[in-house]
Amino acid sequence: MLTQRAPAQQATVKPIDVNQVDSFLAFRSDNTVVIYTSKVDVGTGLRIAMRQMVAEELDVPVDRISLVEGDTSTTPDQGGTGGSTGITRGGVEIRQAAATARQALLKLGAEQLNRAAADLTIANGQVRPANGGSGIELGKLVGGRLLSLKVDAKAPLKDPTRYALVGRPLPRPDVPGKCSGQHAYVQDLRLPGMLHGRVIRPPAIGARLQSVDETSIRGIPNVRVVRIENFLGVVAPDEWAAVRAARELKATWSPWEGLPGNDGLERTVREGPLDRDQELVKHGDPSTPLPPGAKQFSANYQWPFQSHASLAPSCAIADVRADATTVWTATQGTHGLRSSLSKIFSIPEEKLRVIYMDGSGSYGGNGNDDVAADAVLLSRAVNQPVRVQWMRHDEHGWDPKGPAQFLDLKGAIDGEGRIHSWETQMWLPASLPGARPFLGVDGAGLTQPHGQGAGQISQNGDPPYAASNVRVLVHWMKQSPLRISNLRAPGKIANAFAVESFVDEFASAARVDPVEYRLRGLSDPRAIEVVKRAADMFGWQSRPSPNPRSGQGSIAVGRGCAYVKYKQAENYIAMAMEVAVDRSSGNVSVRRVTCAHDCGLVINADSLRNQIEGSIIQTLSRALHEEVKFDRSRVSSTDWASYPILRFPEVPAIEVALIDRPTLPPLGAGEASTAPVAGALANAIFDATGVRLRAAPFTSQRVRAALVRS
């Protein structure tokens, strides 16, 4: 089994500049090929997809290709992992490097075989005459040397009609190890002389450390307390000793109250200081007078702060030495992390190496960066390698969150039900320049930027359907009470929830079936195809909502749909869903979900399906259950009981149709199918009960309360 670690020896210095083929690909004398990328797998299957793309261009067997991910010393900086760019940017760049290499290999082969390059081909890792005859293995041809070649943007790519590998559902190389305990996670790394560290975070976010009583842990062997201003940690050779010491160490902190609490959040958002207003979309004029027979609508939608809620609390190992520092981490942004740590700790970048190892799924920026800084602080303080493993309350409590979102929508339809006017107003935290501050660095009183950003959170706030007179206005807020980061499909889940719910209201008022209503407003054939496919798979019966036959008893049955064009420019996704709502308990049971997905060229159909199924289930969890709870001082939902996620008994039957377009570029698909989930769900709940839910999560208490009110 080929591992993802960097090879121990390099015959020549390997470049990392993104313009060089040798930065991305190495041809070993044992006939294997190594891919180097800064894009990391995090469970998406990127590491098989990239192998397929390279194997296809080079005609080298997939199992002779290994992958090095996220090592700042050896992998070129293609950007961090996120924004659905793994294949679209990372894979496509490397594919072009492979195509460039192919031409060079044919030329090298031509010299060796004394034939014209045009007469040669590559098959099964060998350059040989196209008409048959013996060839030469790539390992012998290149044998560990550098090609010293710039990536040629014009190097021809293989014709998609001849694809032998791309598109096929090849199995992922890491799955067997994950099923046998042999796969190496960052949590499993052990180094000689390594200490285990734990950080003690304050009971209130802005609290200052007043006193520490080390005698309180005198019964625990070999523990050293590290205090740097307000940063408090413990290290010990024994992990359990560190866990108990962190739990039992007596420390006093100053009181602090600076959060609005869940109840005060909306007021803080609507009345707090603004950075600026931005008109994102304007066509026509929403204040155009209404035609006769028009109907007007207005509704406010809310999405709460949510946690990445990674199954594994974040973990990092740092080995800070005078001559070099190495950090092992599961961060999705190794190069960005190195850059930040380099500046904060005054370590020159060439002396700081950040190496990615798998953690659990992260879905954006979770606690992984913060724990890396914690590990550096502790290792630096004790002059030994330190492994910091966050506890559950650290991860739930302190990971940067998906932001809370508020949307006010107003609109009108004409006498025929067509969208006449639409206005979305959103309140979102502004992106402020600079990296997000590390918790430990602030605690230790070191200087660092205090940037703020959660990704492209303002997208998809306008309807993807024909509409005259559309305006989207964002009120960018200066502050966010909780630290934020890019949580999967940033902003777009809430925005699409509001848009698809609002459109559904129009359809219902116009007494038109919701699928039919959407089709009337679409002209793009790719959009129409996914909507029809999702509806057909569902067995969608055409009728307006709500369901006239939802059931008289305690269980109300309904169905809903939603359509999103991701970022208004990328994947086309449509979804239909059937729910059963228990009127007395308010419990929403999702029975089945259909999804049609078009992301251009499909690289690996199986891992793509895995991502789509995962996106649907994860987002159902977010829409039904998840809300970060916080009071005036801190996040209080710090375990799985207080921050519940979806469990097995709730899992619906899911059917996914993939539409493959081999002549188009491949789009990323790690997050797009999260976007229609909440809208389809809310619409299904409306169909079942006649009640509109506009504030996520749709907990059974909220559903019950809404049913009682109606």
Partner 1 sequence: MPQYNLQVNGRAVSVESWDPSQPLLYVLRNSLALNGPKFGCGLSQCGACTVLIDGKAARSCVTPVSQAVGHKITTLEGLGTSEKPDPVQAAFIAEQAAQCGYCTNGMIMAAKSLLNETPKPTLEQVKQALAGNLCRCGTHTRILAAVLRAAKA
Q: What is the DSSP letter of 348?
A: -
**Two structure tokens written together for 24:** 């991305």
Q: Is 631 in the site for partner 1 (CB under 8 A)?
A: no
Shorter beta-carbon distance to partner 1: residue 286 or 361: 361
Neighbours of 213 (CB within 10 A): 12
Looking at beta carbons only, is 24 or 390 nearer to partner 1?
390
Considering the rule CB under 8 A, would residue 178 count as an interface residue with partner 1? yes
Strand partners, 558: 579
Cα distance between residue 387 and residue 193, in whole Å: 11
Residue 664 as a binder of partner 1 (CB under 8 A): the answer is no
| 478 scored as a contact of partner 1 (CB under 8 A) | no
Cβ at position 365, least distance to partner 1 in Å: 15
Binding status of residue 365 toward partner 1 by CB under 8 A: no
* 1 near partner 1, rule: CB under 8 A: yes
Kindly tell me the burial class for residue 511, based on how many C-beta atoms sit within 10 Å of its own C-beta (0-12, 13-18, 19 or more): exposed
User: If we measure between CA atoms, which residue out of 502, 698, 666, 501 comes closest to residue 582?
Assistant: 698
Give the C-alpha separation, 513 to 498, whole Å. Answer: 19
Residue 618, interface with partner 1 (CB under 8 A)? yes
Region 101-120 residues binding partner 1, contact defined as CB under 8 A: none
Q: How far apart are CA 577 and CA 679, in angstroms?
A: 10
Does 334 bind partner 1 (CB under 8 A)? Our answer is no
Residue of 332, 391, 314, 361 whose CA lies nearest to 640? 391
Footprint of partner 1 on 56-85 (CB under 8 A): none
| Secondary structure class of 514 (helix, strand, coil) | helix
Binding residues for partner 1 restricted to 15-34, rule: CB under 8 A: none
Which range, of 4-12, 128-136, 137-145, 309-317, touches partner 1 by CB under 8 A?
309-317
Closest CB 649 distance from partner 1, rounded Å: 5
Beta strands 352-356 and 325-329: pairing type?
parallel
Q: Which is nearer to partner 1, 310 or 424 (CB)?
A: 310
Q: Is 306 in the site for partner 1 (CB under 8 A)?
A: no
The minimum distance between CB 125 and partner 1, in angstroms, equals 23
Helix (H) or strand (E) holding 561: strand 555-565
Residue owning tokens 């009640």: 691
CB neighbour list of residue 20: distance below 8 Å, 6 or more residues apart: 148, 149, 150, 151
Binder to partner 1 among 26, 40, 101, 241 (CB under 8 A)? 241
- First-to-last alpha carbon distance for the chain, in angstroms, is 60
Q: What is the three-state SS of 638-677?
A: CCCCCCCCCCHHHCCEEEEEEECCCCCCECCCCCHHHCCH
Q: By rule CB under 8 A, what string of x and - marks binding of each residue 597-616 to partner 1?
A: ---------xx--xx-xxxx
Question: Which of 139, 304, 333, 361 lies at the binding interface for partner 1 (CB under 8 A)?
Answer: 361
The verdict on 697 binding partner 1 (CB under 8 A) reads: no
Interaction between residue 135 and partner 1 (CB under 8 A): no
Structural element, H or E, at residue 521: none
Q: Which is nearer to partner 1, 238 or 275 (CB)?
A: 238
Report d(CA 331, CA 339) in Å as an integer. 13
176 binds partner 1 (CB under 8 A): yes
Cross-strand bridge partners of residue 425: 408, 473
Residue from 640, 701, 705, 708 binding partner 1 (CB under 8 A): 640
Hey, CA dihedral for 57, 58, 60, 66, is it positive or negative?
A: negative
Q: Which residue type, as a one-letter code, is found at position 174?
A: D
Question: Are 588 and 700 contacting, i.e. CB atoms less than 8 angstroms apart?
Answer: yes
Among residues 182 and 296, whose Cβ is nearest to partner 1?
182
According to the binding rule CB under 8 A, does residue 42 interact with partner 1?
A: yes
Q: Are 302 and 266 in contact (CB under 8 A)?
A: yes
86/313 with CB nearer partner 1: 313
Closest CB to partner 1 among residues 399, 505: 399
Q: Which of residues 155-174 bind partner 1 (CB under 8 A)?
A: 171-172, 174
Q: Does 392 bind partner 1 (CB under 8 A)?
A: yes
Peptide bond preceding 292 in cis form (omega within 30 of 0): no
Contacts for 404 with CB less than 8 Å, ≥ 6 apart:
265, 269, 302, 303, 304, 305
The CB-of-172 to partner 1 minimum distance in angstroms stands at 6
Least CB distance to partner 1 at residue 368 (A): 13
Rule CB under 8 A: choose which of 14, 47, 158, 244 binds partner 1.
244
Q: Which is nearer to partner 1, 183 or 410 (CB)?
A: 183
Of 150, 647, 664, 708, the one binding partner 1 by CB under 8 A? 647
Region 220-239 residues binding partner 1, contact defined as CB under 8 A: 221, 238-239
CB of 175 to partner 1, least distance (A): 5
Q: Which stretch binds partner 1 (CB under 8 A): 38-46, 269-277, 377-385, 584-592?
A: 38-46
Residues 39, 155 contacting (CB under 8 angstroms): no
Cis peptide before 697 (omega within 30 of 0): yes
Whichever of 169 and 449 has its CB closer to partner 1, that residue is 169
Nearest to 49 by CA among 175, 171, 185: 171
Minimum gap (Å) between residue 51 Cβ and partner 1: 15
How many residues touch partner 1 (CB under 8 A)?
63
Q: How far apart are CA 597 and CA 672, in angstroms?
A: 9
Q: Before 676, cis peptide (omega within 30)?
A: no
Nearer to partner 1, 212 or 243 (CB): 243
The contact set with partner 1 (CB under 8 A) reads: 1, 42-45, 171-172, 174-185, 187-188, 190, 221, 238-241, 243-244, 309-313, 358-361, 363, 389, 391-392, 606-607, 610-611, 613-618, 621, 639-641, 645-649, 651, 654
